[in-house]
Amino acid sequence: MSRTTSESPVRDTIPDADVVIVGAGFGGLYAHYRLRQLGLTLKGFEAAAGVGGTWWWNAYPGARCDVESLDYCYSFSEELLAEWEWSERFATQPEILRYANHVADRFDLRRDILFDTRITACNFDDDTDRWTVETDTGKRVSACFIVAASGCLSAPILPDIPRIESFAGPVHYTSAWPHEGVELSGKRVGFIGTGSSGIQAIPIVAEQAGHLTVFQRTPNFSLPAKNGPVPEPKRALIGPDYPAYARSNKHTPAGYHVAMPEELPDIWTPGRSALDATPEEREAIWNALWESGGTGFTGSYIDLTINPESNRLVSEFVHSKIREIVDDPETADRLCPTDHPFASKRLCLDTDYFATFNRANVSLVDIKATPIERITADSVEAGGVSHPIDILVLATGFDAVSGSMLKINPKGRGGHPLADKWGDRFDTYLGMMIAGYPNLFMIHGPGAPGVLFTMPLGGERHTAWIANCIRHLDETGLGAIEPTEEAEAAWDREITSMAERTLYMRTNSWYTGANVPGKPRQFLAHLQGSKYFDRINAIADEGFVDGFVSEERRSVDASV
């Protein structure tokens, strides 16, 4: 069903393609697999030197997935599910990268991808209904469709820290960690950022460094991962038919099933409010879930993220655990998050994070109480105290969900840049398409479940929808499809009203865009997981009418 004729001229160095796929992370790789099956010609661009996306860049020590490995993988191939063995409950970044490479090799997914190549322009032509994409390596390609699999966490923030450029030693971002590693032994390391990345990296950095000074602006909630072999309750839940289990993940709210610890069934029933349990029951259940590790903890009661009182109780439980682990009461106090509700930011999973602050070679500086005044050639000065450092590590987060699209900044109908359209609101329809940007599909865009649904699985479901849409256009002789602005506005209202019923909106986090100075405040994820995917599939089944406008396909001549 190729739309690009063999007579299409070679422009610059690349032949025209039906589809340009941006990114070779989990979303992009699967898009290559699925859209190739439709007989479409593809061209992929990836800024990194290899596949893996976020997992290629975030090679910092301690990087791991916070979803269990048996869930954080593709479900589309029974052979792949059968042949790949994860070595741990929560896979490390190197193992996930090996998996991405294995998938790319096994399904020959690299052949259409140009690596080390960043997109510099992406422009729609109203006369031909085609996109032209240009790269920093001087390539140019024309395509009917763009699939932007550019990632939710792939536009790092460069923090505004006074005089950071004065530092004479090496500065390393966790989000662009050198693959060859960084020699930390014996070094005085300054570490800024205590979100997921910091909380994972800090215990390992502490083991290697001579001295580690953590500059914390906001403490975060973190649960013990209790990593190791896959626990028995999880194996029992999966049962003998792993492919069937993996497929069934599609029908869950977050893209995976939670295995409750074996001892819980006696004292726990699903679907209760924390307020309906006695203090003793809550304590017993939370202790059991704390000990079994992972984010199953949040499934203890249904109202932890919606009812402020339930949230207060669980927050206090976590504070008590932090105080139990950390020897120095003042340090423990500083590590207890009190400015936001439990789980209203991305919940962290850690291995010995809080215990790391008992080490003699680790100090914690509260930079909210004593802000960083300046960085000098060999120190961080905060609250009038100079902290000598040899290496600075920054784990300061991302312009999440929308940032990578804005880096591409496609120009849609009338040459209208996305940066203008998204100046004060990240309007999309279904989190996948944008009015005025025909035939441009996003995987995990603003308004889709994104990071709140297991990413490889969500990417599969998005791509299936995109494949159906392209097939639909082909079968009906249509050339271009885009949503209406009315549909976008209704989608926005829906996402916002769902989020407003939760505690997410009360928190300054990257979920709400509050971590980026000047970014519009908007909850960026659809909260209904599998129901979201059922919904977009129903729209596909009904012929992509609801919320969309389409136009006739232009003649092939017009595209050349």
Nearest approach in angstroms of CB 371 to ligand NA7 is 9
Interface characters, 450-479, with ligand NA7 (x: CB under 6 A): -x----------------------------
- Annotate 486-522 with b (16+ C-beta within 10 A) or e (fewer): ebbeebbeebeeebeebbbbebebbbbbebbeebeeb
Nearest approach in angstroms of CB 344 to ligand NA7 is 12
Distances (CA, A) of 472 to 361, 387, 550: 61, 62, 11
Residue 510 engages ligand NA7 in binding (rule: CB under 6 A): yes
Nearest approach in angstroms of CB 194 to ligand NA7 is 4
Beta bridge partners of 19: 42, 145
Judged by CB under 6 A, the stretch of 186-194, 312-320, 412-420, 530-538 that binds ligand NA7 is 186-194
Instruction: Closer to ligand NA7 by CB, 135 or 216: give it.
Output: 216
Residue 190 engages ligand NA7 in binding (rule: CB under 6 A): no
The pair of three-digit structure tokens given for residue 480, joined into one six-digit string: 């271009």
Nearest approach in angstroms of CB 217 to ligand NA7 is 4
List CB contacts of 414: < 8 A, sequence separation 6 or more.
Answer: 126, 436
Distances (CA, A) of 410 to 20, 113, 434: 13, 20, 11
Nearest approach in angstroms of CB 202 to ligand NA7 is 11
Q: What DSSP element (H or E) covers 238?
A: helix 232-238
Interface characters, 261-300, with ligand NA7 (x: CB under 6 A): ----------------------------------------
Distances (CA, A) of 23 to 109, 152, 408: 12, 11, 11
Determine how many CB atoms are found less than 10 A away from the CB of residue 53.
Answer: 29
- What is the C-alpha separation between 168 and 286, in angstroms, rounded? 47
Nearest approach in angstroms of CB 160 to ligand NA7 is 6
Instruction: Closer to ligand NA7 by CB, 158 or 558: give it.
Output: 158
Q: What is the CA radius of gyration of the chain?
A: 24
Judged by CB under 6 A, the stretch of 24-32, 153-161, 239-247, 375-383 that binds ligand NA7 is 153-161
Instruction: Closer to ligand NA7 by CB, 348 or 467: give it.
Output: 348
Nearest approach in angstroms of CB 159 to ligand NA7 is 3
Determine how many CB atoms are found less than 10 A away from the CB of residue 448.
Answer: 27
Q: Which of 360, 369, 399, 351 is nearest to 219 (CA)?
A: 369
- What is the C-alpha separation between 182 and 275, in angstroms, rounded? 48
> Which of 27, 52, 151, 198 contacts ligand NA7 by CB under 6 A?
198
Determine how many CB atoms are found less than 10 A away from the CB of residue 253.
Answer: 15
> Which of 15, 134, 159, 476 contacts ligand NA7 by CB under 6 A?
159
Restricting to residues 330-359, name those near ligand NA7 by CB under 6 A.
Answer: 346
> Which of 128, 197, 298, 305 contacts ligand NA7 by CB under 6 A?
197
**Identity of the residue numbered 424:** D
Restricting to residues 203-242, name those near ligand NA7 by CB under 6 A.
Answer: 217-218
Size, binding site for ligand NA7 by CB under 6 A: 22
Instruction: Closer to ligand NA7 by CB, 397 or 445: give it.
Output: 397
Nearest approach in angstroms of CB 153 to ligand NA7 is 5
Judged by CB under 6 A, the stretch of 106-114, 192-200, 328-336, 424-432 that binds ligand NA7 is 192-200
Nearest approach in angstroms of CB 434 to ligand NA7 is 24
Nearest approach in angstroms of CB 134 to ligand NA7 is 30
Q: Which of 162, 191, 160 is nearest to 177 (CA)?
A: 191
- What is the C-alpha separation between 345 and 477, in angstroms, rounded? 45
- What is the C-alpha separation between 47 and 114, in angstroms, rounded? 9
Judged by CB under 6 A, the stretch of 5-13, 373-381, 389-397, 539-547 that binds ligand NA7 is 389-397
Residue 193 engages ligand NA7 in binding (rule: CB under 6 A): yes
Q: Which of 456, 192, 186, 207 is nearest to 351 (CA)?
A: 207
> Is the CB of residue 367 less than 8 Å from the CB of residue 239?
no
Judged by CB under 6 A, the stretch of 71-79, 283-291, 316-324, 390-398 that binds ligand NA7 is 390-398
Residue 396 engages ligand NA7 in binding (rule: CB under 6 A): yes
Nearest approach in angstroms of CB 394 to ligand NA7 is 8
Residue 395 engages ligand NA7 in binding (rule: CB under 6 A): yes
Q: Which residue has the tokens 């997914």?
A: 109
Residue 195 engages ligand NA7 in binding (rule: CB under 6 A): yes
Instruction: Closer to ligand NA7 by CB, 54 or 132: give it.
Output: 54
The pair of three-digit structure tokens given for residue 451, joined into one six-digit string: 């990071």
> Which of 69, 154, 194, 550 contacts ligand NA7 by CB under 6 A?
194
> Is the CB of residue 408 less than 8 Å from the CB of residue 421?
no
The pair of three-digit structure tokens given for residue 487, joined into one six-digit string: 């549909």
- What is the C-alpha separation between 358 and 336, in angstroms, rounded? 15
Q: Left (φ > 0), alpha (ψ -120 to 50) or beta: where does 543 sit? A: left
Instruction: Closer to ligand NA7 by CB, 472 or 506: give it.
Output: 506
Instruction: Closer to ligand NA7 by CB, 343 or 495: give it.
Output: 343
**Identity of the residue numbered 120:** T
> Is the CB of residue 86 less than 8 Å from the CB of residue 238?
no
Q: What is the binding site for ligand NA7 (CB under 6 A)? A: 153, 159-161, 192-198, 217-218, 346, 367, 395-398, 451, 510, 515
